[in-house]
Amino acid sequence: MVKKQIKAKITNAELVKEKHKQIVEAASELFLEKGFHKASMRDIARESDIDLSYLYKYISTKDDILYLFYDYITSQYEPIYRMIESAKDEDPLILLKRALSLVMETIHNRAHEIQTLYTETRHLQRDSLHTVLARESEFIKIVEDLISRGVKDGIFNTKDSFMAANIVQLIIVIESLRGWNFRDRYNFADFTESIIDFIMAGLKVDEKKWQEIKK
Protein backbone atom coordinates (compact mmCIF):
# COMPACT_ATOMS: atom_id res chain seq x y z
CA MET A 1 0.00 0.00 0.00
CA VAL A 2 1.29 3.44 -0.94
CA LYS A 3 1.58 5.60 2.18
CA LYS A 4 3.26 8.83 3.24
CA GLN A 5 5.21 8.93 6.47
CA ILE A 6 4.09 11.81 8.69
CA LYS A 7 7.01 13.13 10.76
CA ALA A 8 6.28 13.43 14.47
CA LYS A 9 8.45 14.59 17.36
CA ILE A 10 6.89 11.95 19.63
CA THR A 11 8.49 8.50 19.40
CA ASN A 12 5.59 6.54 20.90
CA ALA A 13 3.96 5.14 17.75
CA GLU A 14 0.70 4.15 19.46
CA LEU A 15 0.30 7.58 21.03
CA VAL A 16 0.98 9.25 17.68
CA LYS A 17 -1.61 7.03 16.01
CA GLU A 18 -4.16 7.89 18.71
CA LYS A 19 -3.50 11.62 18.44
CA HIS A 20 -3.63 11.52 14.64
CA LYS A 21 -7.09 9.98 14.87
CA GLN A 22 -8.15 12.65 17.37
CA ILE A 23 -6.83 15.43 15.12
CA VAL A 24 -8.43 14.02 11.97
CA GLU A 25 -11.84 13.62 13.59
CA ALA A 26 -11.74 17.26 14.70
CA ALA A 27 -10.42 18.48 11.34
CA SER A 28 -13.07 16.50 9.48
CA GLU A 29 -15.85 18.49 11.13
CA LEU A 30 -14.07 21.78 10.52
CA PHE A 31 -13.24 21.04 6.87
CA LEU A 32 -16.87 20.16 6.30
CA GLU A 33 -18.08 23.31 8.04
CA LYS A 34 -15.48 25.86 6.91
CA GLY A 35 -13.40 24.31 4.16
CA PHE A 36 -9.69 23.56 4.32
CA HIS A 37 -8.35 27.10 4.01
CA LYS A 38 -10.71 28.71 6.52
CA ALA A 39 -10.13 26.05 9.19
CA SER A 40 -7.09 27.35 11.06
CA MET A 41 -4.58 25.27 13.01
CA ARG A 42 -5.85 27.04 16.14
CA ASP A 43 -9.40 25.90 15.27
CA ILE A 44 -8.20 22.33 14.81
CA ALA A 45 -6.25 22.39 18.08
CA ARG A 46 -9.26 23.69 19.97
CA GLU A 47 -11.67 21.20 18.34
CA SER A 48 -9.32 18.26 18.99
CA ASP A 49 -8.67 19.40 22.59
CA ILE A 50 -4.92 19.43 21.99
CA ASP A 51 -2.88 22.52 22.85
CA LEU A 52 -1.61 24.21 19.68
CA SER A 53 2.04 23.83 20.72
CA TYR A 54 1.50 20.11 21.30
CA LEU A 55 -0.33 19.72 18.00
CA TYR A 56 2.96 20.34 16.20
CA LYS A 57 4.55 17.43 18.07
CA TYR A 58 2.31 15.06 16.10
CA ILE A 59 2.21 16.78 12.70
CA SER A 60 4.43 19.28 10.92
CA THR A 61 2.02 21.18 8.69
CA LYS A 62 -1.65 21.64 7.92
CA ASP A 63 -1.02 19.58 4.78
CA ASP A 64 -0.21 16.64 7.06
CA ILE A 65 -3.70 16.89 8.54
CA LEU A 66 -5.36 16.95 5.11
CA TYR A 67 -3.31 13.91 4.08
CA LEU A 68 -4.21 12.11 7.32
CA PHE A 69 -7.85 12.93 6.63
CA TYR A 70 -7.55 11.27 3.21
CA ASP A 71 -5.73 8.30 4.76
CA TYR A 72 -8.42 7.91 7.43
CA ILE A 73 -11.30 7.97 4.93
CA THR A 74 -9.72 5.56 2.45
CA SER A 75 -8.83 3.18 5.27
CA GLN A 76 -12.58 2.66 5.74
CA TYR A 77 -12.95 0.98 2.35
CA GLU A 78 -9.42 -0.20 1.53
CA PRO A 79 -10.06 -3.67 3.10
CA ILE A 80 -12.72 -4.25 0.43
CA TYR A 81 -10.11 -3.82 -2.31
CA ARG A 82 -7.75 -6.15 -0.43
CA MET A 83 -10.59 -8.68 -0.35
CA ILE A 84 -10.82 -8.47 -4.16
CA GLU A 85 -7.06 -8.99 -4.42
CA SER A 86 -7.07 -12.09 -2.25
CA ALA A 87 -10.19 -13.78 -3.71
CA LYS A 88 -8.45 -15.09 -6.82
CA ASP A 89 -10.65 -18.17 -7.19
CA GLU A 90 -14.03 -16.50 -6.70
CA ASP A 91 -16.46 -15.84 -9.56
CA PRO A 92 -15.55 -12.32 -10.82
CA LEU A 93 -19.21 -11.37 -11.23
CA ILE A 94 -20.18 -12.33 -7.68
CA LEU A 95 -17.01 -10.72 -6.31
CA LEU A 96 -17.57 -7.45 -8.19
CA LYS A 97 -21.21 -7.30 -7.08
CA ARG A 98 -20.25 -7.80 -3.43
CA ALA A 99 -17.37 -5.33 -3.58
CA LEU A 100 -19.48 -2.62 -5.22
CA SER A 101 -22.22 -3.04 -2.62
CA LEU A 102 -19.72 -2.83 0.25
CA VAL A 103 -17.86 0.19 -1.11
CA MET A 104 -21.09 2.07 -1.84
CA GLU A 105 -22.40 1.32 1.65
CA THR A 106 -19.17 2.62 3.18
CA ILE A 107 -19.32 5.76 1.04
CA HIS A 108 -23.00 6.24 1.93
CA ASN A 109 -22.14 6.15 5.62
CA ARG A 110 -19.35 8.71 5.05
CA ALA A 111 -21.03 10.77 2.32
CA HIS A 112 -20.21 14.22 3.71
CA GLU A 113 -16.62 13.26 4.48
CA ILE A 114 -16.14 11.81 0.98
CA GLN A 115 -17.57 15.00 -0.49
CA THR A 116 -15.12 17.03 1.58
CA LEU A 117 -12.33 14.71 0.49
CA TYR A 118 -13.02 15.31 -3.20
CA THR A 119 -13.41 19.03 -2.66
CA GLU A 120 -10.29 19.59 -0.56
CA THR A 121 -7.76 17.05 -1.92
CA ARG A 122 -6.76 19.57 -4.60
CA HIS A 123 -5.14 21.62 -1.81
CA LEU A 124 -2.62 18.89 -0.98
CA GLN A 125 1.04 19.67 -1.50
CA ARG A 126 2.85 17.89 -4.32
CA ASP A 127 4.31 14.97 -2.33
CA SER A 128 1.04 14.30 -0.52
CA LEU A 129 -0.96 14.55 -3.73
CA HIS A 130 1.43 12.16 -5.45
CA THR A 131 0.87 9.62 -2.66
CA VAL A 132 -2.91 10.07 -2.79
CA LEU A 133 -3.04 9.62 -6.57
CA ALA A 134 -0.75 6.59 -6.38
CA ARG A 135 -3.10 4.92 -3.91
CA GLU A 136 -6.13 5.72 -6.06
CA SER A 137 -4.28 4.19 -9.02
CA GLU A 138 -3.62 1.10 -6.89
CA PHE A 139 -7.35 0.68 -6.21
CA ILE A 140 -8.14 1.15 -9.90
CA LYS A 141 -5.55 -1.50 -10.82
CA ILE A 142 -7.24 -3.99 -8.48
CA VAL A 143 -10.61 -3.39 -10.17
CA GLU A 144 -8.98 -3.50 -13.61
CA ASP A 145 -7.43 -6.90 -12.84
CA LEU A 146 -10.80 -8.23 -11.66
CA ILE A 147 -12.54 -7.01 -14.82
CA SER A 148 -9.77 -8.46 -16.98
CA ARG A 149 -10.21 -11.80 -15.25
CA GLY A 150 -13.94 -11.62 -15.91
CA VAL A 151 -13.29 -10.83 -19.58
CA LYS A 152 -10.97 -13.84 -19.84
CA ASP A 153 -13.67 -16.03 -18.26
CA GLY A 154 -16.30 -14.72 -20.71
CA ILE A 155 -18.31 -12.96 -17.97
CA PHE A 156 -17.55 -9.35 -18.87
CA ASN A 157 -17.21 -7.93 -22.36
CA THR A 158 -15.07 -4.82 -22.71
CA LYS A 159 -12.12 -3.94 -24.95
CA ASP A 160 -10.52 -1.70 -22.34
CA SER A 161 -10.50 -2.98 -18.75
CA PHE A 162 -8.45 0.01 -17.59
CA MET A 163 -11.02 2.52 -18.83
CA ALA A 164 -13.85 0.38 -17.45
CA ALA A 165 -12.20 0.29 -14.00
CA ASN A 166 -11.78 4.08 -13.97
CA ILE A 167 -15.44 4.58 -14.89
CA VAL A 168 -16.55 2.13 -12.19
CA GLN A 169 -14.48 4.00 -9.59
CA LEU A 170 -16.08 7.27 -10.61
CA ILE A 171 -19.64 5.98 -10.68
CA ILE A 172 -19.57 4.43 -7.20
CA VAL A 173 -18.86 7.80 -5.55
CA ILE A 174 -21.66 9.58 -7.40
CA GLU A 175 -23.86 9.75 -4.30
CA SER A 176 -21.27 11.94 -2.57
CA LEU A 177 -20.97 14.20 -5.59
CA ARG A 178 -24.61 14.42 -6.69
CA GLY A 179 -26.59 12.98 -3.80
CA TRP A 180 -28.78 16.09 -3.67
CA ASN A 181 -30.30 15.02 -6.99
CA PHE A 182 -31.11 11.45 -5.93
CA ARG A 183 -32.48 11.70 -2.39
CA ASP A 184 -36.08 12.47 -3.30
CA ARG A 185 -36.28 9.71 -5.90
CA TYR A 186 -34.44 6.67 -4.48
CA ASN A 187 -33.90 5.04 -1.14
CA PHE A 188 -30.35 3.78 -0.67
CA ALA A 189 -31.12 0.14 -1.52
CA ASP A 190 -32.78 1.09 -4.82
CA PHE A 191 -30.03 3.58 -5.59
CA THR A 192 -27.33 0.94 -5.06
CA GLU A 193 -29.17 -1.62 -7.16
CA SER A 194 -29.62 0.89 -9.99
CA ILE A 195 -25.93 1.85 -10.02
CA ILE A 196 -24.74 -1.75 -9.96
CA ASP A 197 -27.21 -2.71 -12.71
CA PHE A 198 -25.84 0.16 -14.79
CA ILE A 199 -22.24 -1.02 -14.27
CA MET A 200 -23.07 -4.61 -15.17
CA ALA A 201 -24.92 -3.49 -18.29
CA GLY A 202 -21.85 -1.45 -19.27
CA LEU A 203 -19.69 -4.56 -18.83
CA LYS A 204 -22.22 -6.44 -21.00
CA VAL A 205 -22.96 -9.13 -18.43
CA ASP A 206 -25.46 -11.70 -19.70
CA GLU A 207 -28.85 -10.44 -18.46
CA LYS A 208 -30.17 -13.88 -17.58
CA LYS A 209 -27.04 -14.74 -15.55
CA TRP A 210 -27.13 -11.35 -13.85
CA GLN A 211 -30.74 -11.77 -12.76
CA GLU A 212 -29.90 -15.20 -11.33
CA ILE A 213 -26.95 -13.75 -9.38
CA LYS A 214 -29.14 -10.95 -7.99
CA LYS A 215 -31.72 -13.34 -6.48
What b/e sequence results for 58-78 when a residue is b if at least 16 CB atoms lie within 10 Å of its CB, and e otherwise? bbeebbbbbbbbbbbbbeebb
Structural domain includes residue 209: yes
Structural domain includes residue 103: yes
Task: Give mean pLDDT, residues 147-172.
Answer: 96
Sign of the dihedral through C-alpha 61, 65, 71, 75:
positive
Structural domain includes residue 19: no
Distance from C-alpha of 183 to C-alpha of 175, rounded to nearest angstrom: 9
Structural domain includes residue 42: no
Of 7 and 190, which is predicted with more confidence? 190
Structural domain includes residue 23: no
CATH code for the domain of 123: 1.10.357.10
Confidence band for 105, pLDDT divided at 50, 70 and 90: very high
What is the predicted pLDDT for the residue at 2? 63
Of 210 and 3, which is predicted with more confidence? 210
Task: Give mean pLDDT, residues 152-162.
Answer: 96
Nearest-5° Cα angle at 210, 205 to 215 = 170
94 pLDDT higher than 90: yes
Q: What range defines the domain where residue 78 resides?
A: 62-214
Give how many domains the chain has, as a whole number.
Answer: 1
Structural domain includes residue 121: yes
| Cα separation of the two ends of the chain | 35
- pLDDT tens digits along 32-53: 888 888 888 899 999 989 888 8
**Length of the chain counted residue by residue:** 215
pTM of the model: 0.86
153 Cβ neighbours under 8 A, 6+ residues apart: 92
Q: What is the mean pLDDT of the chain?
A: 89
Q: List the single range of 8-12, 18-22, 84-88 with lowest mean pLDDT.
A: 8-12
Distance from C-alpha of 58 to C-alpha of 90, rounded to nearest angstrom: 42
Structural domain includes residue 138: yes
What is the predicted pLDDT for the residue at 1? 58
Nearest-5° Cα angle at 118, 67 to 94 = 100
Q: Cα 71 vs. chain centroid, distance in angstroms? A: 9
